[in-house]
C-alpha cells in the first residue's frame, strides 16, 4: 500500500465522525426548514357557517381563526386571523388505520402504474432500459476494473460507512428525526416526509427484491463476469438494493422541499451510496443505475400520489365559535 493512500485513509478516518455528525445535522436542518421551505403546505380549511343569521357579529370580531366573513346589513365582518398563521392539524398517525390504508393504496398504485402509461411513457422506459443494457454490455467491466485498482483498507472503511445510508440502519433514524421534529413543532411537511419516506422505502425494496430474484445476475465479486445470469436461482445483483433505498429516501425528501441545498445533500449522499457499492465490488455500475431509477421514481411518484390522497380525505369538523352561538362545519382538503 502506498504511503499516500495510508495518509489519505488516516485523514478520512479522522473526518469520519465529523461527516456522520454533519449528515445528521443536515437531515435535522432539512426537517427544521419545513416551515419556510415546504413545497406542500398543510391542508386548507374551508369553513361554512350553518346559520348565517346568528353569525351576524356586526362590527364585532371573532377570535376563532377559522371564522368566515359575512356581509350583513351593509357591514363587513372581519374573519379573524389569517388561517395560514394558525398551527396546522397533524396528518394521519403512523399507527392509524388511515396510514395503513395509504400504504396499501401506495402498493396498488406502484403495481398498477405501468398499466396507465401512454405511448410517450413507454418510449421513455425503452430508452432508459436500452441505456442500462448498453451499460451492462459495454461499461460494467471497465468501470469495475477502474474502481478496484485504487482500493485501500482505509477507503474501504469509509465506503462501508457510506453505504449504510442505503439501509434501514441509517435511513429509518433520519425519517424518525423528521417525524419527531414534525410532531414537536406541529410541522405538517416534516411529518408527511417521514410517512411518505417509510412507505416508499418498503415498496421500492419489494420491487427491487422481486426483480433481483427474477434476473439472478452474478455479483462482480463472484468472478463470473457481467453477463452471467441464473434466473430464479441466486447471485442477486441486479438491481442494487442499497441504491434503491438511498434514492427512495432522497427523492421523498427532495420532493417535499424545493431548497437546492436540501436536494443536493439528499441526492449527493444517495450517489455516494451507489459509488460505495461499486467500489466495494458488491455491484456492477448498471445495478446501481437501475436501483437509483427504481428508488427515485417510486419515491417521487408516491409523494405526489399521497398528496392527492390526503387532499381527497375530507372530514366534517363542527366547531363552536367563541361567542357561544356560531356553529361551523369545517372541511380539510
pLDDT at 193: 93
Contact 299, 200 (CB under 8 A): yes
The reply to whether 49 falls in a domain is no
- CA 319 to CA 249: how far, in whole Å? 38
**Residue 76 is inside which H or E element, if any?**
strand 75-76
The reply to whether 175 falls in a domain is yes
Predicted confidence (pLDDT) at residue 84 exceeds the cutoff of 90: no
pLDDT tens digit sequence for 20-75: 444 444 444 444 444 444 444 444 444 444 444 444 444 444 444 444 444 444 44
Query: Which pTM value belongs to this model?
Result: 0.69
- CATH number of the structural domain spanning residue 249: 1.20.144
The reply to whether 142 falls in a domain is yes
The reply to whether 173 falls in a domain is yes
The reply to whether 57 falls in a domain is no
The reply to whether 315 falls in a domain is no
pLDDT at 309: 86
Who has greater pLDDT, 76 or 165? 165
Structural domain harbouring 146: 96-308
pLDDT tens digit sequence for 155-202: 889 999 889 888 888 888 889 999 999 889 888 899 999 999 999 999
What's the Cα-to-Cα distance from 60 to each of 63, 79, 81, 106, 327, rounded to whole Å? 10, 10, 14, 47, 17
Number of domains in the chain: 1
The reply to whether 108 falls in a domain is yes
The reply to whether 274 falls in a domain is yes
Amino acid at each position: 500500500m502506498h504511503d499516500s493512500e495510508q495518509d489519505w485513509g488516516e485523514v478520512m478516518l479522522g473526518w469520519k465522525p465529523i461527516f456522520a455528525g454533519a449528515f445528521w445535522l443536515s437531515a435535522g436542518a432539512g426537517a427544521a426548514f419545513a416551515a419556510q421551505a415546504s413545497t406542500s403546505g398543510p391542508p386548507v380549511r374551508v369553513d361554512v357557517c350553518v346559520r348565517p343569521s346568528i353569525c351576524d357579529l356586526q362590527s364585532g370580531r371573532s377570535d376563532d381563526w377559522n371564522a368566515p366573513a359575512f356581509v350583513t346589513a351593509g357591514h363587513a365582518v372581519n374573519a379573524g386571523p389569517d388561517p395560514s398563521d394558525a398551527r396546522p392539524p397533524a396528518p394521519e398517525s403512523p399507527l392509524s388505520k388511515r396510514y395503513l390504508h395509504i400504504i396499501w393504496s401506495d402498493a396498488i398504485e406502484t403495481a398498477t402504474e405501468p398499466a396507465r402509461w401512454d405511448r410517450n411513457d413507454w418510449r421513455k422506459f425503452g430508452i432508459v432500459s436500452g441505456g442500462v443494457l448498453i451499460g451492462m454490455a459495454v461499461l460494467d467491466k471497465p468501470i469495475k476494473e477502474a474502481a478496484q485498482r485504487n482500493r485501500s483498507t482505509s477507503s474501504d472503511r469509509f465506503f462501508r460507512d457510506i453505504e449504510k445510508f442505503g439501509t434501514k440502519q441509517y435511513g429509518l433514524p433520519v425519517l424518525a428525526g423528521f417525524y419527531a421534529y414534525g410532531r414537536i413543532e406541529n410541522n405538517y411537511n416534516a411529518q408527511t416526509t417521514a410517512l411518505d419516506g417509510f412507505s416508499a422505502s418498503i415498496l421500492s425494496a419489494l420491487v427491487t427484491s422481486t426483480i433481483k430474484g427474477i434476473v439472478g445476475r452474478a455479483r462482480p465479486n463472484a468472478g463470473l463476469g457481467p453477463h452471467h445470469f441464473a434466473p430464479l436461482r441466486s447471485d442477486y445483483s441486479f438491481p442494487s438494493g442499497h441504491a434503491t433505498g438511498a434514492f427512495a429516501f432522497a427523492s421523498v425528501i427532495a420532493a417535499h422541499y424545493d431548497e437546492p441545498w436540501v436536494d443536493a445533500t439528499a441526492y449527493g449522499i444517495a450517489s455516494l451510496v451507489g459509488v460505495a457499492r461499486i467500489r466495494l465490488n458488491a455491484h456492477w455500475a448498471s445495478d446501481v443505475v437501475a436501483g437509483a431509477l427504481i428508488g427515485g421514481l417510486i419515491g417521487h411518484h408516491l409523494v405526489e400520489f399521497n398528496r392527492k390522497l390526503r387532499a381527497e380525505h375530507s372530514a366534517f369538523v363542527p366547531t363552536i365559535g367563541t361567542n357561544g352561538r356560531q356553529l361551523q362545519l369545517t372541511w380539510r382538503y
